[in-house]
């Protein structure tokens, strides 16, 4: 398993650079999405030189981050509850929050930066729901500009860096989702009187990153292709991108906590035996 992570990581990176060349694009940043995976695996990818990692549960991120090198650049990519902002900001090497989907959340994140005394501004992406699936998080495309303006003008501790979306997950390629995100970026850039290319587009996962790169993605978030399939033993769906009701969310967080505990146990026993 150890060798496989590094092999898969290198394979993805070289595939990404091939695709980028084919479509004359600059190679995007690869965020290795390590949710549900043990810290040992993350460490292996880190030792192979990788720095950008993504998590989507506060509890899991705040448990794993202190066990791993400070040089890791963490991306938070999950749905964030406003009352968890301070906890998230307790991770000193939090690099970017990709999933800002409301003004209220942006305001709370900004406040949390002040509370914890974070020195650099926190990079944020505004998450857009481009697939009109009612269950998925993200702001409506038509709210995009007002939300971005709120971040830019009312949240001085945040650094607006671009847009993020999760493409539709059914079998049809999410071309329309990615094109809508590109269009949103253009409108935002016009509004801010800047170049679209100066803003990030985080789109593309294991199943659709080739298409995403073709359409101009600058950040790709890949989990299972690098770390292997995730095991949500008790669930059939992927929590990060499907939950809607509070109840479901709580259940997932609890489950995530259990998983995190298992990871730590694994790590400890691994250390003990070495
Ligand atoms: C889990 C997750 C990913 C990675 O998904 P894979 O299909 O395993 O590559 C990317 N983005 C978000 C927001 C996720 O929750």
Confidence check: pLDDT of 54 > 90: yes
Q: What is the mean pLDDT of residues 148-161?
A: 98
Can you give the pLDDT at residue 267? 43
Confidence check: pLDDT of 236 > 70: no
- Out of 65-69, 140-144, 167-171, which region has the weakest mean confidence (pLDDT)? 167-171
Residue having the nearest C-alpha atom to atom 10 of ligand 1: 221
Of 39, 47, 96, the C-alpha closest to 265 is 39
pTM, whole model, 2 decimals? Answer: 0.86
For ligand 1, say whether the CB of 205 is within 6 Å of any of its atoms.
yes
Confidence check: pLDDT of 260 > 50: no
For 105-118, what is each residue's pLDDT tens digit? Answer: 999 999 999 999 99
Q: How many CB atoms lie within 10 A of CB 94?
A: 23
Can you give the pLDDT at residue 156? 98
For ligand 1, say whether the CB of 241 is within 6 Å of any of its atoms.
yes
Of 103, 200, 111, 198, the C-alpha closest to 157 is 111
Atom of ligand 1 nearest to the CA of 31: 10
Can you give the pLDDT at residue 147? 98
* CB-based burial label for 198 (10 Å; 0-12, 13-18, 19+): exposed
Atom of ligand 1 nearest to the CA of 222: 9
Q: Is 228 left (phi over 0), alpha (psi -120 to 50) or beta?
A: left
From the CA of 225, how far away is ligand 1's center (Å)? 10
């Amino acid at each position: 398993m150890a060798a496989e992570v590094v092999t898969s990581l290198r394979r993805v990176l070289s595939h990404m650079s091939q695709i980028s060349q084919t479509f004359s694009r600059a190679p995007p940043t690869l965020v290795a999405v390590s949710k549900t995976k043990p810290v040992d695996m993350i460490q292996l990818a880190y030792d192979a030189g990788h720095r950008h990692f993504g998590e989507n549960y506060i509890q899991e991120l705040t448990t794993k981050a202190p066990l791993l090198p400070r040089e890791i650049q963490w991306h938070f990519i999950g749905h964030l509850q406003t009352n968890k902002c301070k906890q998230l900001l307790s991770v000193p090497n939090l690099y970017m929050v990709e999933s800002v989907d409301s003004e209220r959340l942006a305001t709370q994140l900004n406040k949390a930066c002040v509370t914890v005394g974070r020195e650099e501004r926190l990079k944020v992406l505004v998450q857009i729901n481009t697939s009109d699936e009612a269950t998925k998080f993200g702001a409506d495309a038509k709210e995009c500009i007002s939300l971005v303006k709120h971040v830019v003008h009312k949240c001085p501790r945040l650094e607006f860096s671009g847009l993020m979306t999760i493409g539709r997950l059914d079998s049809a390629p999410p071309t329309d989702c990615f094109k809508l995100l590109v269009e949103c970026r253009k409108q935002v850039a016009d509004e801010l009187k800047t170049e679209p290319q100066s803003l990030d587009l985080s789109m593309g996962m294991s199943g659709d990153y080739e298409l995403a790169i073709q359409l101009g993605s600058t950040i790709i978030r890949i989990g299972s292709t690098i770390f292997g399939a995730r095991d949500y033993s008790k669930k059939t769906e992927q929590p990060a991108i499907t939950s809607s009701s509070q109840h479901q969310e709580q259940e997932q967080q609890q489950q995530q906590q259990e998983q995190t505990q298992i990871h730590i146990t694994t790590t400890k026993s691994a250390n003990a035996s070495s």
